[in-house]
Amino acid sequence: MAMLSYRIRKATAGVAPYPCIFLLHGYGSNADDLFSFASYLPGHLTVISLEAPLGTPFGGKAWYSIHFDAAQDKWSDLKEAKKSLVTITEQLENFINEYDLNPKDISLMGFSQGAILSWSLLLDHPDRFRRAICMSGYINTQLLENPLKEYQNVLAYASHGTNDPTVPYDWGESSVNELRTNNPKVTFNSYADAHNVSPENFRDLLEWISKTNLD
């Protein structure tokens, strides 16, 4: 299996094994997009921005195809999405070994389609991923192994723009609120914004990262 392309900023502080945060971009983007955040993230974190394996009709990359003319429950190519989830989890061990990462302190940060995958990875692989930051996405229960009410001890920060024209705000709010019923450590913030990460949102997520670091 071919390794995913990626960009990396190795930890500039602390000692090995290093905590790590994996960045998962949105549909039509690439590894450079969220990697622009790397210089603002804590120096003790190794930052790895993964690039999705599929091309799109509009340029850029995707973790799975999206059928824009379909109903909500048929938006996503679930087979491709599940394949991307398997690819990420299978390649995690390679990253841990190559870059001397702490397997007990792996985080995720995803935007849009990358946020949807981040939710699935966090919920179904709590032994591999400690926390997640999920921006402008939602929890796609069709990608989960269990009903949403069965997940517990989840640590996550979610955010969404109330004027998002791409991923409706209600999708994010309703799915995360359902998860929060049994998970008080899940944060959901809304912003008067569209399908992007506002400066206020970015400031809040950096604060959340600081508060939930193990160090």
Record the pTM. Answer: 0.95
**Owner of token pair 């549909």:** 27
* Residue 11 vs residues 7, 8, 118, 171, 207: alpha-carbon distances, Å: 13, 9, 22, 35, 19
Q: Are 130 and 61 in contact (CB under 8 A)?
A: no
Tell which residue, 197, 213, 102, has the closest CA to residue 155: 213
Average pLDDT of span 79-96: 96
User: What is the per-residue pLDDT for 2?
Assistant: 72
Mean per-residue pLDDT, 2-20: 95
Statement: residue 116 has pLDDT above 80: yes
In this prediction, residues 123-137 reach a mean pLDDT of 98
Q: Are 92 and 1 in contact (CB under 8 A)?
A: no
Q: Using CA atoms, how far apart are residues 53 and 63, in angstroms rounded to an integer?
A: 6
pLDDT of residue 68: 66
Proportion of the chain above pLDDT 70, given as a percent: 96
Query: What was the pLDDT predicted at 1?
Result: 57
| Distance in angstroms (rounded) separating the CA atoms of residues 12 and 127 | 26
Closest CA to 86 of 45, 56, 29, 128: 128
Residues 49-74: tens digit of each pLDDT = 999 999 998 889 999 998 766 555 55
Model confidence at 178, pLDDT cuts 50, 70, 90, reads: very high
User: In this model, does residue 3 exceed pLDDT 90?
Assistant: no
Say if CB 32 and CB 5 are below 8 A apart. no
- Inter-axis angle of helices 113-124 and 78-99, to 10 degrees? 70
The gap between the terminal CA atoms of the chain, to the nearest Å, is 34
Domains and CATH numbers, the chain: 6-212 (3.40.50.1820)
Q: Which residue has the tokens 């970015």?
A: 202
